[in-house]
Amino acid sequence: MPQQYLLCSDLDRTILPNGHQEESPGARKLLAKLAGQPQIKLAYVSGRHKKLLQDAIVEYDIPTPDFAICDVGTTIYTTSHNEWQPCLDWSAKIGADWQGKTAGNLIELLADLNSLTLQEPEKQNSYKLSFYTPVAIDLPPLRATIRDRLEQAGIKAGIIFSIDEMAKVGLLDILPSSADKLQAIKFLMAHEGFSDSHTVFAGDSGNDLSVLTSGMKSILVRNADNNVREEAQRYLAATDQLQQLYLAHGGFSGMNGNYAAGVLEGFYHFFPEVHQGGIPLANNNHY
């Protein structure tokens, strides 16, 4: 069997051009060509829940993935002939962190924290409790308070914060401690037999940092948050793994490096041999 590559990518503002910066025309079409190659498997890794992720596929005309890691890593789906099968092994694994409790049971522990506003019901699931915060929140003390309360209740949880720059709001997700984008990707790789050497991840923002700083081959699209770029670089420099992170800067096939163009630029940086596999888009610089 030919070598299989796993391309994992965040969606919002990584593949989807829903940020302030311009998208190069045709970038998503080229990404679809890459994903259509039989040796490429595609996994979307998103904060979105399944329905919102499926909506994005239609709205932005992007390829149906082979796998979908949704809800910031708390759900994994395998897709086949448009059937999305949840991975029950993953739910069982992460559910153990919350000792039989689900998100609804945790709300009362945090109900008096004024800076937290519960997100809409469709953005919650059994193992994802999500709040809005003001953008300018003083995060460290809030994080410490949440952590203390959950620990006292025997809940092992991770707290993930990012900013929705379009909506100008902070997003704070509480997840089982063994559920985040990185651990979900690692589980998927082990489950499906993908190696570290042939897996790459692309992202743009704070909720991608667990992967970007893990030492996994990673791409930051050019439109990524500056503070995320700096934090990822600082962390990787300290652990002597800077070569595992590619910062898209534009120029690949004449494109600007934002969104899907940046994902492609990074993919071919790590896997130039795929150029020689007969993918026509990689050979032209005039697109």
Please report, as ranges, the residues that interact with Mg ion according to CB under 5 A.
10, 12-14, 204-205
Q: To the nearest whole angstrom, how small is the minimum distance from the Cβ of residue 205 to Mg ion?
A: 5
Q: To the nearest whole angstrom, how small is the minimum distance from the Cβ of residue 135 to Mg ion?
A: 16
Q: To the nearest whole angstrom, how small is the minimum distance from the Cβ of residue 206 to Mg ion?
A: 9
β-pair type (129-133, 157-164): unpaired
Q: To the nearest whole angstrom, how small is the minimum distance from the Cβ of residue 114 to Mg ion?
A: 27
Which CB atom, from 16 or from 274, has the smaller least distance to Mg ion?
16
Which CB atom, from 180 or from 204, has the smaller least distance to Mg ion?
204
Which CB atom, from 261 or from 282, has the smaller least distance to Mg ion?
261
Which CB atom, from 13 or from 123, has the smaller least distance to Mg ion?
13
